Amino acid sequence: MKIFLENVNLNSSNGPNSFANKLAPPIIKSGHSFSTQQQADISLCFIESPISNLSIPRVQRLDGIYYNTRFEYEIQNKNIKRTYDNSEGVIYQSHYGKKLITTFFGDHPNGEVIHNGADLRSIASSPAMKNDVEGRRIWSCAATWRPHKRLPENIRYFLEHKSEKDILLIAGNTPQIVKDASIYYMGNLTQKQLYSLYKASEFFLHLGFLDCCPNVVVDARACGAKVICTTSGGTQEIAGPNAIVIEEPEWDFKPLDLYNP
């Protein structure tokens, strides 16, 4: 099968494009290929399409929609909804994601929940980051940091629960919002460097608010880290049976100020 990738930038490292980079090699290994729109049998569209009159069947992969009252979310959703209505199939990242999208957009006649997966081959070839202090236990967290990813809460949880030799390594471009001898800001890391970090981590913190299916959690779990998350969103669905899951109030699926969780 020849697949046309819509709205995918394989040179980008954000969540959807990072997943596309993981997805591409096994698709090729399975005997399929990627091609131009004119030569393809089917389109796999990430989130939304700029093409209104596609001549081949389209499957839309959705990682969520807009509902943040700080922005004109209905306008932001307009093209996503058009793509949703014009797609033969829809992939939801989590059961939470399906409920979110169908609440705002209505049911789709051909939708399926498929949780994000991890690139186990790349993980296996990535050595754990060296821990140069004996007895030191590593916690980590990683994101494209925005308010609803809750970095301050991640840090506070770590400081409340750490032991004397524990350290927290924070990946992602963010200022030093809390200065503490046990907290290290790593900046942006490559995917391989993230795998090495996760492999060295005993705990991976992700207290993000209303995330559908965060790739960083899938990867950290696949690397052996114990996930700490909340009941918010779909993260708990992929956190694993040994995860520490913190209860918080259920969302009523009405628009809200996402950046003030």
pLDDT on residue 23: 85
Give mean pLDDT, residues 63-82: 97
Answer yes or no: is pLDDT of 135 > 90. no
Q: pLDDT over 90 for what percent of the chain?
A: 87
Q: How far is CA 185 from the centre of its chain?
A: 20
Answer yes or no: is pLDDT of 53 > 90. no
Residue type, 95: H
Q: Which tokens in the block code for residue 221?
A: 């779990």
Mean pLDDT over the full length of the chain: 94
Give mean pLDDT, residues 236-251: 97
pLDDT on residue 15: 63
| Model confidence pLDDT, tens digit, residues 173-228 | 999 999 999 999 999 999 999 999 999 999 999 999 999 999 999 999 999 999 99
Instruction: State the Cα torsion 152-155-157-162 to the nearest 10°.
Output: -170
Answer yes or no: is pLDDT of 28 > 70. yes
Q: How far is CA 135 from the centre of its chain?
A: 31
Distance CA 251, CA 71 (A): 19
Answer yes or no: is pLDDT of 120 > 70. yes
| Model confidence pLDDT, tens digit, residues 58-72 | 999 998 999 999 999
Answer yes or no: is pLDDT of 133 > 70. no
pLDDT on residue 13: 65
